[in-house]
Amino acid sequence: MTLAQKVSLTAQQLPIDAHDGAAGYLAGIPSLCLPDLVFNDAGAGVGDGQINTTAFPDPIVQASTWDPQLDYAFGQALGAEAHAKGIDVQLAPGIETDRIPENGRNWEYMSEDPYLSGQIGAAEVRGIQSQHVIVTLKHFIANSQETDRGASGPPVDSADLSLRTLEELYAPQYDVAIHQGGAMGVMCAYNRINSIYACQNPETLKGVLLHQFGFPGFVVSDWGATHSTVPSALNGLDIEMNVSPGTYFGAALQRAVQSGAVPMRVLDSMVLRILRAEFAVGVVNDPPAAQPAAYAADVSTPDHIALARQISEEGSVLFKNADGILPLTAADRRIALIGTDAGPAGADLVYNAEGSGRVPEFGTNPAVVSPLTALTRRAAASGDTVLYADGSSLLDAETVARTASVAIVVVGNSESEGVDEPNLSFNGDTCTLIGVCVPPTVAPDALVSAVEAANPNTIVVLDTGEPVLMPWLAGAKALLEAFYPGQQDGVALASLLYGDVDPSGHLTETWPASQAAQPIQTAAQWPGVDRPGDPLGPHSAYSEGIFVGYRWYQAHHVRPQFPFGYGLSYTTFGLSHLVVRTRRRSDAATVSLAVTNTGTRPGAEVVQLYVHDPANTGEPPEQLKGFRRVFLDPGQSQTVTLRLTPVSFAHWSDRRRTWIVTPGRYGIAVGDSSAHLPLRRTIRRRWARLSPRAY
């Protein structure tokens, strides 16, 4: 390859007319049989300006299924649609840790727990790349907030954290997605880490990702997250993406190589990483569909739409079901359906959150089936009628609710990339562009309270991506969180409400009981404070350290509103016969137990396994190290076996710069949420020093 050919692979080409609808592309080299590398967003389907693709539920729903097999199927569908659309790099999955409940992009990430994010993320990676489309894990790393994200220059927030915090809470999911999933692309983030930009950070990019994990693929910058030529190239960035053509790479990189500031072997290694990803995933052997036909193609299929529905059904979380009001029975003859997020058809429903992860990024999506449409159809099949009020008038809402036997109120918040929520209050905003959000005419809290006052049988359905405070919770008979359910919104909701499927989603994030009772308590933690002498932006101190999410609640004995891992079903389950086997010669352990459906309806349970390290390790009380989703018919029982590996018992030592196991007694706790762990044993572990690449 000539020098010009090599640098051409390192920077975005503009204009992107050749690939309408995509986020950006690198021009291929036809004489070397290298196709264009076309990048497209991704979290809930093939998004950006693409048309005729399936809008799947958002990543938080995908994770709330606790079902890696389903997420593999989702990845396959996503990869297939991308390939048929002429795309060979999907800008997903987002696997950062949900540190702050108000973070504007938690819906696009998976969980506050890195083990869960790693398992779900790795499954999605395998699915996408099976279709010869490269993934990009994002946004590497400690990308926990949108305030001062620095997408178009300062202020750029700095995430200030210790190596132990980074290794234990923010990095494991990348290790798993790379080594178990085979991910060949990583996107470095907008933020800084300990004052240094993520896309030129020697400690995180070169140290953790490249050296510690041995990541073999390419690193691409978030759009506009490149801030230099030489430090970026030397510290592990391979591709600059931007809204303008290569500012720091491309021609500027060519000059740096010619002057000797960037050695040729560094450029060769960048090119090798890009080409290795292309060959390993199959992009060169099986390039995606050609333009312009691909842009117009309808790539959504009945199977993909059914999958979107299944993810929404499995990922919705039932929080409350007093008096068994759900599922709806034949006695529910007149059903009041209330709320802007309930319909009518063609309304701008909150089916995906706002941002580059939305499908499509702009405008309404005609494929979305509203709750009003789907529930009316489903109710008719049971001889029921649906009365609708859009919730813009309290009087109308009360009138409709009063005349019905049951009132269902659907309230949502469309969160957006680019902005955090100011607090946990339920504002009910609708966002139409990144960061452009408007409040509703009637606030959701007022609407729900009015409906509850008018009808004692009120069922609340939420469409939010983050926890919200619910002052009206005691007055609601049932509460179902559908998050951002994708285009099968109403269809999935109707089948859950009628019990055609059993709710089985479990929370991947803790829901605080109040603004004060949660891990993030100071402005220094979030959104960060300025530091004298640093003109680039504020600093967010990760002073809670490894006590993120449920780890903090349990350590501080604070009761959340709803705990991590929680979710109800229409049936009941029993867990019993816990057996923990350790082998003398190995540091692994096998945990098995029986799960029984003790109720009268078919349903799925999510068995969760937590490990309790000895107190002198300084670790949080309990940490998720295994899980399994099990579907059972009434009366049916199944033995579940979960494997623990040496790293399940390890913590990071900053002094030794690796994983160590402290000798002592370790607790094994099994249950169906972080707050309900009825089966317990302890086992002994010996001292061990593990490899830094332990996952």
Considering only residues 119, 232, 291, 356, which one is a binding residue for ligand NOJ as defined by CB under 6 A?
356
Least distance between ligand NOJ and beta carbon 104 (Å): 11
Give yes or no for residue 562 binding ligand NOJ (CB under 6 A). Answer: no
The verdict on whether 48 is a catalytic residue reads: no
**């389907």: which residue's tokens?**
45
Considering only residues 8, 13, 22, 41, which one is a binding residue for ligand NOJ as defined by CB under 6 A?
41
- For residue 123, how many other CB atoms are within 10 A of its CB? 24
Structure tokens at 383: 């001889």
**Sequential DSSP letters for 629-664:** EEEE-TT-EEEEEEEE-GGGG-EEETTTTEEEE-SE
**Closest CB to ligand NOJ among residues 173, 488:** 173
Least distance between ligand NOJ and beta carbon 418 (Å): 8
**Closest CB to ligand NOJ among residues 22, 668:** 22
CA distances from 295 to 51, 86, 90, 285 (A): 7, 7, 16, 21
Q: What is the CA radius of gyration of the chain?
A: 25
127, amino acid identity: G
Residue 29 is classified by DSSP as B
Least distance between ligand NOJ and beta carbon 280 (Å): 22
- Among candidates 70, 25, 57, 13, which has minimal Cα distance to 294? 25
Query: Helix, strand, coil shares of the chain as percentages rounded to 5?
Result: 30, 25, 50
E strands, 237-390, in order: 317-321, 334-338, 385-389
- For residue 635, how many other CB atoms are within 10 A of its CB? 10
Considering only residues 66, 72, 197, 223, which one is a binding residue for ligand NOJ as defined by CB under 6 A?
223
Question: For residues 304 and 54, is the Cβ–Cβ distance under 8 A?
Answer: yes
SS3 83: helix
**């979107």: which residue's tokens?**
308
**Which 77-106 positions form the footprint of ligand NOJ (CB under 6 A)?**
91
E strands, 395-457, in order: 406-412, 430-433, 436-438
**Closest CB to ligand NOJ among residues 129, 458:** 129
- For residue 293, how many other CB atoms are within 10 A of its CB? 9
- For residue 349, how many other CB atoms are within 10 A of its CB? 30
Interface with ligand NOJ (CB under 6 A), residue total: 7
Identify the active-site residue in 67, 157, 160, 222: 222
**């269902």: which residue's tokens?**
408
Give yes or no for residue 253 binding ligand NOJ (CB under 6 A). Answer: no
Q: Please tell me the total number of residues recorded for the chain in this structure.
A: 695
Give bridge partners of residue 658 from the DSSP assignment: 653
CA distances from 672 to 25, 317, 473, 576 (A): 44, 13, 22, 12
Considering only residues 58, 113, 160, 222, which one is a binding residue for ligand NOJ as defined by CB under 6 A?
222
Least distance between ligand NOJ and beta carbon 172 (Å): 21
Q: Is 194 left (phi over 0), alpha (psi -120 to 50) or beta?
A: left
Least distance between ligand NOJ and beta carbon 200 (Å): 17
**Which 127-166 positions form the footprint of ligand NOJ (CB under 6 A)?**
138
Question: For residues 411 and 349, is the Cβ–Cβ distance under 8 A?
Answer: no
Contact characters 671-690, ligand NOJ, x per CB under 6 A: --------------------
Give yes or no for residue 23 binding ligand NOJ (CB under 6 A). Answer: yes
**Which 424-443 positions form the footprint of ligand NOJ (CB under 6 A)?**
none
CA pair distance 321, 316, nearest whole angstrom? 14
Question: For residues 460 and 411, is the Cβ–Cβ distance under 8 A?
Answer: yes
**Closest CB to ligand NOJ among residues 357, 371:** 357
**Closest CB to ligand NOJ among residues 277, 410:** 277
Contact characters 382-421, ligand NOJ, x per CB under 6 A: ----------------------------------------
CA distances from 182 to 80, 122, 130, 232 (A): 18, 8, 10, 24
**Angle formed at CA 478 by CA 473 and CA 482, multiple of 5 degrees:** 95
Instruction: Kindly tell me the burial class for residue 153, based on how many C-beta atoms sit within 10 Å of its own C-beta (0-12, 13-18, 19 or more).
Output: exposed
**């995906």: which residue's tokens?**
352
Instruction: Kindly tell me the burial class for residue 194, based on how many C-beta atoms sit within 10 Å of its own C-beta (0-12, 13-18, 19 or more).
Output: middle
**Closest CB to ligand NOJ among residues 40, 65:** 40
**Angle formed at CA 329 by CA 323 and CA 335, multiple of 5 degrees:** 95
Binding residues for ligand NOJ, per CB under 6 A? Answer: 23, 41, 91, 138, 222-223, 356
Q: Which residues are catalytic?
A: 222
